[in-house]
Structure 1
Amino acid sequence: MSGRKAFKGMAPAGTRIRMMEPGEAPALQAIEHRAAQLLVEVGHLASAEPTPMARFVPFLLRHEVFVAEVKGGGPIGYAAAADLASLAVPDDGIEDGEGAGCYWLSELSVDPAHGRRGIGSALLSAVVARAGWFFHRAVGLSTARDVAFNEAFYARREFLKVGADDLTPVLRRRLVLECPAGVSPDRRTVMIRWL
């Protein structure tokens, strides 16, 4: 099944979900930056600068990237996910293979101009479907605590909060690594959806 047909029917009318194609990094970087402004508006981030392309492209390459686009137009949202074990970094104290079987959603961004139309839900559905197709046991993520379009969004889609005392070393490490500069890990939460 091609990247343009694998997620047929998952997106709202007039849009579709597909896998990232070459040359799309600048458009996705712009979406990420615009979406981050929403976290600034609610006080979760003090400010949000675009991720430098020298960091953004390697991030994309470490993940499978799902893109939402307007039919006949460009990207309006994306999600980046990978097996949690594949995201380990050298010398982080995580055992080889720890986290295997958990498909980790590292990023879900929708251009605010296209928000509240089901694009984020469609991207999340594509990530969950992909995880199931490849026999992952769960989908995990870290997100802003007490922000309606983050924690509550995922809770409505069967993701459960993992308490701080219940975090495994690999989940704790992801939580810390994904904390934006200037944000305490206490203001973020890990959530899991079992498949």
Structure 2
Amino acid sequence: MEIRTARPDDLPLLPPIERASGEPFRDIGMPEIADDDPMPLDALRRLHVWVAADPHPVAWAAVRELDGAAHVEQISVHPDHARRGIGAALLDHVGHWAAARGLTALTLTTFRDVPWNAPYYRRLGFDEVAEPSPGLAAVVAAEAARGLDPAGRVCLRRPTP
């Protein structure tokens, strides 16, 4: 599995991966998450995006700099390739990229109680952020404006290597 920077011709392949990775939410009573629109291509073009390819993308991560950290806007692994360490490898890759840029941490927001969300990231070394930075607080506010209950969300942080 190769992890590399996404090429322009990779970008149209990423929304179907995101859509497929959202399907398990349907099984736990969160169909609105499964039915949520994937990240638009114009948004992807403004972010740092990496893919895990074999040889075509099967997973991806999109990141932006936020308050001195690399904020993971989205990470998606196609269910056919889940539970193989691909998401963890993408996060490690992003962590090394962030460290090389002088960023101090990876941050993300996720569902507090969904097993493949916060509990998974905690196993990968992320800790809950007690007091979100201004940028992270703005991310949470934007999520709330889109209908995500802040009580069910959590901000997580992992230092860069």
TM-score computed with the length of structure 1 as normaliser: 0.75
Three-state SS of the structure 1 residue aligned to 2:32 is coil
What corresponds to 2:100 in structure 1?
133
What corresponds to 2:53 in structure 1?
69
Structure 2: distance between partners of 1:79 and 1:180: 23
Three-state SS of the structure 2 residue aligned to 1:77 is strand
Structure 2 CA distance for partners of 1:188 and 1:169, relative to 1, 3 Å? same
What corresponds to 2:63 in structure 1?
81
Three-state SS of the structure 2 residue aligned to 1:67 is strand
Moved over 6 A (4+): none
Structure 1's unaligned 5+ residue stretches are 1-14, 85-98
Structure 2: distance between partners of 1:77 and 1:178: 23
The AA in structure 1 aligned to 2:50 is: F
What corresponds to 1:60 in structure 2?
44
What corresponds to 1:18 in structure 2?
4
The AA in structure 1 aligned to 2:80 is: A
Three-state SS of the structure 1 residue aligned to 2:34 is coil
Q: Deviations over 1:85-109 (max 9, x none)?
A: xxxxxxxxxxxxxx1x111010000
Structure 2: distance between partners of 1:24 and 1:180: 30
Preserved contact between residue 24 and residue 34 of structure 2 (Cα < 8 Å): no
After the TM superposition, which of the residue ranges 106-115 and 148-157 deviates more from structure 2? 148-157
What corresponds to 1:190 in structure 2?
155
Whichever of the two has the greater Rg, that structure is 1
Tell me how large the CA RMSD over aligned residues is: 1.9
Structure 2: distance between partners of 1:47 and 1:133: 34
Structure 2 CA distance for partners of 1:146 and 1:47, relative to 1, 3 Å? closer
